[in-house]
Amino acid sequence: MTEALLEAKSISKKYEDRYVLQNTDLKIDHQQFVAILGHSGSGKSTMLNILSSLLKPSSGQVLYKGKEIGQLSKSAVAKFRREDIGLVFQHYMLIPNLTVEENIQMGSKYALEAADLEELVSLLGIEKLLNKYPHQLSGGEQQRVCIARAVIKKPAVLFCDEATGALDSENSKNIIVLLHAIKQTYGTSILFTTHNREIARTADRILLLEDGRIVRDDMNREKLSPDQMSWEI
């Protein structure tokens, strides 16, 4: 049996007397696009932050390639974040005084094996933006740069937390198309939180969270090609 790339064992997160995530078990395989559906407050972002080591669970374990992240030293956790995962958020968080190319290269600073910059920016359609600054870009362009910065280090897992939440429908669809292309090109596993069921229709697997619990975990047997999405608000 193939070892899971990422695994959560009975993880919970409690703030004061309220659980935002409860006894969650989850296995993520290699090269899998997983859509995590749920309304605001369902626990999506909390789960993503725990799986990516940005947040410690109140109880339970997270394992990456069989090793428990909570038992690693601070330097080992930092190495895991630098080399093995990429992060894309709703807000772009680009460095304003750096060019697009410089922002992207920040992501490869500590990479063991960086992706080819020319290939990556061509895949994302931003090759003509490299000398521009963030304030000169549209929202969709900025998010593409953020993705390039996260992917240039060729992470095993890309965590996307409402990565299309600030974009219009056309740019949102374009981003989903590009994420699927990244999965195919670099073999990246992608965890994508969203409230949008149309995005989930393109995923390999769909999780549904309600009140901090996974109430649905299905392989998507009727996958929709990302370029065929219609849009839901």
Q: Which residue matches tokens 């968080």?
A: 93
**What sections of 73-168 are H helices per DSSP?**
74-83, 100-106, 117-124, 139-151
Q: Nearest-CA neighbor of 155 among 76, 61, 97, 88?
A: 88
pLDDT, tens only, 149-198 = 999 999 999 999 999 988 888 889 999 999 999 999 999 999 999 988 99
Determine the topology of domain 33-55+73-228 in CATH. Answer: Rossmann fold (3.40.50)
pLDDT, tens only, 46-104 = 999 999 999 999 999 999 999 999 999 999 999 999 999 999 998 888 999 999 999 99
Burial class (CB in 10 A: 0-12, 13-18, 19+), 38: buried
pTM for the predicted model, two decimal places = 0.94
Domain assignments of the chain as residue spans, ordered by start: 33-55+73-228
Looking at residue 233, its pLDDT comes to: 46
pLDDT, tens only, 117-160 = 999 999 999 999 999 999 999 999 999 999 999 999 999 999 99
Q: Residue 74: CB partners within 8 Å, gap ≥ 6?
A: none
Which residues are registered as beta bridge partners of 87?
A: 159
Token pair of 128, please?
């003509």
